[in-house]
Amino acid sequence: MLLAAIGFVMVLLLVFCLVTKRLLPPVAFILLPVLASLAAGFGMTEIGKFASEGIKSMIGTVSLFVFSISFFSLMSDVGVFDAIVSKLMKVAGNSVTAVMLATAAIAAIIHLDGAGAATFLITISAMAPVFKKMKLDRRNLMLIVCISIGVMNVLPWAGPTIRSASVMGVEAASLWRPLIPMQVINLGIVFIITYFLSKMQKKRLEALGSAGNFAVGADGDAETTGGKGVSEAGGRLIDPSRSGLMIFNYFLTAAVIVILVLDALPAPFTFMIALAVGLVANIRDLGVQSRQLKKYGVAAMTMVVTLFAAGVFTGVLSNTGMLDKMALAIVGVIPPSIGRFTHILLAFLAVPLIMCLGTDAFYYGLLPVVIGVCGNFGVPAENVARVLIIAENIGIMVSPMTPAVYIGLGLINLDLGDHIRYSLPWIWAFSITSVILSLLVGVVPI
């Protein structure tokens, strides 16, 4: 129980520090697990090994983040997204609602492949310039993409459903099929939430007025908008008259997206090649290439530090055994008299639980225990898994233990604490609503 208690205190302190901005995310991710491990009786040598395992697990995510950010920044600098912004602005006009609903639709469609990182990369890269031009709060962009991912992430080839199926020894598709009605309902809720968010944005824009060429960030501060296709030195990276090169850039960007969706190559490797080709094609001067890479590197460095620090946190949490003990403790506090409702009670708490445990611990640690407890009361394992899949997935992208979240945050330069503080109420309310609806429509029998 001591390990579980220390683990819960550490996670609660982490969320508190991030939301209140008492500590920078990298500092919190490093210091808190080290102090927690020392309190649990582990030595620094052991803690170092735990941290190293976690850091290694982040290498793929960091590689993807660095090269994807650099590639999309380059394409933005040469003006690739100007055409997307212009067309969307023409279609949507001044309609905030149309733009935000389109964002939800794009994210849902892109996430048909079940890859959160790709969904963030494609959707946010396309829509961030539009949100900026229309002076929309970028926290809404992150929130809309997160809830769209949460609804689509119950597909049988997505991670949570596969994990649940492996725990139960069944096919993922058989676990998913009864969830289809709830997935459709939840997709409708995504558009309803997005609609209300757009109404809030309209009121906010009316209060701010339309004077000046500025975009409002997460904290309401104005920030100037720069022109596309402009280098650090103030000159254009490419000559606007070179239409053939622009067509090449469009095809290069489209090719990257297709490869990501088809999963034809490892995502980090795809962006490495695309960045190298893009630099050589667009910038002939090696000095300018070097300056651009340095600019992109500086922009990405804060998130790189945060990701590796998050690796320390997850490595310590999992390798010390805290996660396993936390999962057992959560189930242990439920009175036997309401044991048959254990899975439903935990589903209501799925969002904070996923923030504490992470996906692997949630499905490989908590789920088997809950199935065992509920099985003693005659509750089928499938019912347990389905209600937890519905509830947990909606909150997966507000968890500091989900690596893909940092890719989305980095693309719009949004702080993790700001994201949690703004998105958590919406996401948790959505998750609870989904659980209630799944019971009402019979997707999860009581």
pLDDT tens figures, 343-353: 999 999 999 99
Q: Is the sign of the CA dihedral 148, 383, 425, 25 positive or negative?
A: negative
Residues 387-446 have pLDDT tens digits of 999 999 999 999 988 888 999 998 898 999 999 999 999 999 999 999 999 999 999 887
Angle (nearest 5°) at CA 325 between 319 and 327: 110
pLDDT for 233: 37
Q: How confident is the model over 287-316, as a mean pLDDT? A: 86
Q: Is residue 164 within 8 Å of 367, Cβ to Cβ?
A: yes
DSSP reduced 3-state for 223: strand
Q: Considering only CA atoms, which of 69, 45, 421 is closest in space to residue 272?
A: 69
* pLDDT recorded at residue 230: 40
- The arithmetic mean of pLDDT across residues 228-234, rounded, is 40
User: For residues 233 and 70, which has the higher predicted lDDT (pLDDT)?
Assistant: 70
Share of residues in the chain with pLDDT > 70 (%): 90
**Packing angle between helix 243-262 and helix 267-282, nearest 10 degrees?**
180
**Lowest-confidence segment of 155-159, 292-296, 419-423 by average pLDDT:** 155-159
- CA–CA distance, 221 with 311 (Å, rounded to integer): 31
Every domain of the chain and the residues it spans: 60-304
pLDDT reported for residue 191: 96
Q: Point out the least confidently predicted range of 32-36, 85-89, 125-129, 174-178.
A: 85-89
Q: Which of 119-123, 167-171, 211-215 has the lowest mean pLDDT?
A: 211-215
pTM, to two decimals = 0.77
Say if residues 280 and 38 touch (Cβ distance below 8 Å).
Answer: no
**87-96, 176-185, 231-240, 278-287: least confident range:** 231-240
Q: 249: closest CA among 432, 78, 66?
A: 78
CA nearest to 344, candidates 401, 388, 286, 403? 388
Burial 198-222 (b: 16+ CB within 10 A, else e): beebeebbeeeeeeeeebbbbeeee
- Encode burial over 58-86: b for 16+ CB neighbours within 10 A, e otherwise: beebbbbbbbbbbbbbbbbbbbbbeebbe
Nearest in space to 144 (alpha carbons), one of 94, 68, 200, 74: 200
SS3 call for 230: strand
